[in-house]
Amino acid sequence: MIVACGGLPKMADEAKILEIVEVARTTGKIRKGANETTKAVEKGNAKLVVYADDVSPKEVIMHLPLLCKEKEIRCVKVSKKDDLGAAAGLPVATASVAIVKEGDAKAALESLPMTDE
């Protein structure tokens, strides 16, 4: 399930989001983990933030949607931290990922429809 926060559509496909993360990882630059994601958002470097719904405790990532909305950065939730970790090229799960440089994922990222929330 994908939900909108800071301008991403509710109907976006989770597999497409994870593919964008994979492509950005190999051809661009990503930041992995809640702390690095938060820093990228605060600096205004993030193009897209993806965070997992099954993170425990929720306090680890609950600030991300609000921060992204404030900074006008696309933000999306995926269902599993294990899937997000795999897409980020990690052998373990990750709470969140920020795409800093899109690389070859730029066109796919730009093709995501925007909403006015």
**36 within domain boundaries:** yes
CATH code, domain carrying 83: 3.30.1330.30
Choose between 32 and 115: higher pLDDT.
32
pLDDT tens readout for residues 10-20: 445 899 999 99
Number of domains in the chain: 1
In this prediction, residues 93-110 reach a mean pLDDT of 94
> pLDDT tens digits, residue range 38-64?
999 999 999 999 999 999 999 999 999
pLDDT at 5: 60
Per cent of the chain over pLDDT 90 is: 79
Q: Is residue 90 part of a domain?
A: yes
Domain that residue 30 falls in: 11-111
Write out the chain in H/E/C secondary structure. Answer: CCCEECCCCCCCCHHHHHHHHHHHHHHCEEEECHHHHHHHHHHCCCCEEEEECCCCCHHHCCCHHHHHHHHCCEEEEECCHHHHHHHCCCCCCCCEEEEEECHHHHHHHHHCCCCCC
